[in-house]
Chains A and B, each alone.
Chain A
Amino acid sequence: MKKCFLFLAVIFIVTLQLIWPGFLTFFNCKPDLLLVFAVSLVFYFDFKTALIFAILTGFAKDIFLPSSFAINTVSFSIWVYLVYKLLRQISSENDYVRLAIVLLVIFLNNIVTNLQILSLGNIVPMGIFLRNLIISSIYSAAVSPLIYKLIKKIGAGV
């Protein structure tokens, strides 16, 4: 049942990401809700469930991106694995720790995405790169408590 709700949550977040209103974008940046969702799963679910849904979320993101390589499917699963490893070393009881982890993951993921753009021979100006990197990461981290709430509710059986 919980997995069913998680699946519905993925559809809901993909839809939200696709129709994200223009007036809620800051400097043309929107939060990466899908990555926040994938990473947050590790905090509230077992590793297997988190990994499966991270792959599903990454796959859903790749489907709606212009790129033909499934970079998010691969990277989301790697982030989930790394966060899982990290959580075995540190405690994530504190909200600020979770926020810091999510911020770090989004920051690194944005760098990986930019490297992928560069590897294709396309150039993103430094100003726009920094804007996307910083604002998008902070914005995603800022909305992450809402995603935690959603996952927490699903984890508790709604």
Chain B
Amino acid sequence: MFKLPRKTLINFILIVCFILLASNSLSCFKDSVQKTFKPHLSFIGLLKREIGGIVFYHRNMIKAEDLALEVGVLRSKLFDLREIYQENSRFKNLLNFKQKSPLRLIPARVIGRSVDSWSSSVIIDKGKYQGIKRGMAVINHSGLIGRIIESADGVSKVLLINDPGQGISSIVQRSRQEGLVSGTLGANLIMRYLPENAQIITGDIIVTSELSQIYPKGLLIGKVINVGVEFSGLNRYAVVRPSVDLANIEEVLVIIQ
């Protein structure tokens, strides 16, 4: 009869116990360790920004001049948009539409990034104390960034939209074609499950859909740069360039309501 030596059995039990212990204790330690790392990560981040400001002074000066010009153009556009907004509000009231409540946002600063090349996440300096909870959407002025996956007392972890673990229910703004946007770890995202006759072309804007349980409807994800047919030949896919430069995020906004 098959019989295991006593020593092998004990070693096997010890290894199993070690794996279970490591996996269980991971969640217990996560909050406290991340909290411990926060002060010096914030300090180093500040130092990095200040040194970067001095080293890249000339580049920043030119950039500031360009931005000042852009601000002028945008101000005039904003003025036009305000007019349109007011007009729109009046029409909505007239039609007795339910007024869309504005999003409640919490600004946060990125203090750390993913520790390896196989995931895409950032650590921000706001957490449970500021009302941030797991599952909240994270954006910036350019569009969608990701969602909160862990929230400790003063820090939170954000899973970026280019992580392969992400799946965002989305639509093409022009044709209302639905699909699922997921990350690839690269600079671009991929929109899958598009039918063969999907109304999607290069240059289309992709936004979050109302089917999404996490993300509010209409958040800008990116622009289609390529459309192809999947290996099976049954569906099409679209390569989406995110509207946010995910490699260089410094400040984010967490949607708390």
Residues of A within 8 A of B (CB): 14-15, 17-22, 25, 28-30, 32, 34, 55, 59-70, 73-74, 77, 110, 113-114, 117, 120, 122-125, 127-128, 132, 136
A117: which B residues are within 8 A, CB to CB?
118, 164-165
A132 to chain B, nearest CB (A): 5
Q: Does B121 contact A (CB under 8 A)?
A: yes
Q: Does B13 contact A (CB under 8 A)?
A: no
Given A21-B48, A127-B186, A136-B116, 14 more pairs with CB closer than 8 A = A15-B40, A18-B112, A18-B115, A18-B123, A62-B26, A64-B112, A66-B159, A70-B22, A73-B23, A114-B118, A117-B118, A122-B182, A124-B164, A132-B118
Which of A21, A59, A60, A122: most chain B Cβ within 10 A?
Answer: A122
B41 to chain A, nearest CB (A): 6
- Contact A69/B23 with A15-B40, A19-B41 known, Cβ cut-off 8 Å: yes
Identify the stretch in B28-36, B77-85, B194-202, B217-225 within 8 Å (CB) of chain A at 4 or more residues: B28-36
B116: which A residues are within 8 A, CB to CB?
17, 30, 32, 61, 65, 113, 136
In-complex Cβ contact of B115 among A17, A70, A122 (8 A):
A17
| Cα–Cα distance between A61 and B29 once the two chains are bound (Å) | 12
Q: Does B236 contact A (CB under 8 A)?
A: no
| Cα–Cα distance between A59 and B34 once the two chains are bound (Å) | 12
Interface string of B101-126 (1 = CB under 8 A from A): 00000000000111111110101000
Tell me the B216-249 residues at the A interface (CB within 8 Å).
Answer: 247-248
**What residue in chain A is nearest B33 (Cβ atoms)?**
A63
In-complex Cβ contact of A73 among B26, B113, B118, B164 (8 A):
B26
A19: which B residues are within 8 A, CB to CB?
41, 44-45, 48, 112-113
A-B contact pairs, 16 of them (CB 8 A): A17-B116, A18-B115, A19-B41, A20-B113, A21-B48, A28-B185, A30-B116, A61-B116, A64-B34, A66-B157, A66-B159, A114-B118, A122-B165, A122-B182, A124-B118, A125-B186
* Interface Cβ pair total, 8 Å cutoff: 118
Main secondary structure on B side of the interface with A: mixed
Residues of B within 8 A of A (CB): 18-19, 22-23, 25-27, 29-30, 33-34, 37, 40-41, 44-45, 48, 112-119, 121, 123, 149-150, 157, 159, 163-165, 182, 184-187, 190, 247-248
Establish whether residues B22 and A14, one from each chain, have CB atoms under 8 Å apart when the complex forms. no
Establish whether residues A63 and B186, one from each chain, have CB atoms under 8 Å apart when the complex forms. no
Establish whether residues A70 and B26, one from each chain, have CB atoms under 8 Å apart when the complex forms. yes
**What residue in chain A is nearest B122 (Cβ atoms)?**
A18
A135 to chain B, nearest CB (A): 8
Establish whether residues A61 and B48, one from each chain, have CB atoms under 8 Å apart when the complex forms. no
| Cα–Cα distance between A62 and B116 once the two chains are bound (Å) | 10
